[in-house]
């Protein structure tokens, strides 16, 4: 793939506001005529829906860690082939809600062997890191409160069975691991203010 566009990802725990921020950022840049696509994982790109259903539906938790990693990576490869790769080749900005950093944290945190597997697979079949990653950070209590006010989705925390504060710390540590591309931003800011900050930083990347 010849990449002439830019690749921006948003990461963080559930309830951080990544989805809203991706949309606000996309709207703002689109209004300026910047060619872009906004997408998400799991399930982004054509044909991704059924893979997302496998990963987030009834069967969540029934697969082994390794199988989950393979499925998330398969989903990512499909996303790369059907949407991210072509858009970057056309010189577009790609704004993606979650990417490999989510796998590194949700599937790999505290499990060095799994983390190595994730990185090796990523290198072998994806081979693309974002140009810039916004880690939307906020206290766990704030995120939990937000999730509980979303109808129907309050069971997910229990279903995931993960230590949310460990996940938050894991996302924050990514900024030390990948200092060139990762920026920690404050997810407790009013959405319009945070959107302004992301817009400014994305602007400096693409200008």
Binding site for ligand TYD (CB under 6 A): 14, 19, 40-42, 56, 72, 98, 102-103, 106-107
Nearest distance from residue 175's CB to ligand TYD, in Å?
Answer: 18
DSSP state of 150: S
**Contact between residue 94 and residue 206 where contact means Cβ atoms under 8 Å apart:** no
**What is the rounded distance in angstroms from the CA atom of residue 85 to the CA atom of residue 90?**
9
For the chain, give the number of residues: 207
Count CB neighbours of 32 within 10 A.
9
98 or 181: whose CB is closer to ligand TYD? 98
Of the pair 7, 106, the CB lying nearest ligand TYD is at 106
Residue closest to ligand TYD when measured from CB atoms: 106
Residue number with CB closer to ligand TYD (36 or 72): 72
Burial category of 93 from C-beta neighbours within 10 Å (exposed 0-12, middle 13-18, buried 19 and up): buried
Rounded to the nearest whole angstrom, what is the least distance from the CB of residue 179 to ligand TYD in the complex? 22
Minimum CB separation of residue 204 from ligand TYD in Å reads 26
Rounded to an integer, what distance in angstroms lies between the CA atom of residue 7 and that of residue 133?
9
CB of 16 to ligand TYD, least distance (A): 9
Q: Which is nearer to ligand TYD, 39 or 103 (CB)?
A: 103
């Amino acid at each position: 793939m010849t990449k002439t566009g830019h690749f921006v990802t948003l990461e963080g725990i559930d309830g951080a506001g990544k989805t809203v921020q991706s949309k606000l950022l996309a709207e703002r840049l689109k209004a300026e005529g910047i060619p872009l696509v906004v997408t998400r994982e799991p399930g982004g790109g054509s044909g991704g829906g059924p893979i997302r259903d496998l990963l987030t539906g009834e069967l969540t938790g029934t697969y082994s860690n390794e199988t989950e990693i393979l499925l998330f990576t398969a989903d990512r490869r499909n996303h790369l082939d059907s949407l991210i790769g072509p858009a970057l080749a056309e010189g577009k900005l790609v704004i993606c809600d979650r990417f490999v950093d989510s796998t590194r944290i949700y599937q790999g945190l505290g499990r060095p062997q799994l983390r190595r597997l994730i990185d090796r697979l990523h290198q072998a079949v994806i081979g693309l890191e974002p140009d810039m990653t916004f880690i939307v950070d906020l206290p766990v209590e704030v995120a939990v409160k937000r999730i509980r006010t979303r109808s129907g989705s309050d069971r997910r925390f229990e279903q995931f069975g993960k230590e949310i504060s460990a996940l938050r710390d894991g996302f924050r540590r990514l900024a030390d691991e990948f200092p060139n591309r990762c920026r920690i931003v404050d997810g407790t800011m009013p959405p319009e203010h945070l959107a302004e900050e992301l817009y400014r930083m994305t602007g400096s990347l693409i200008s």
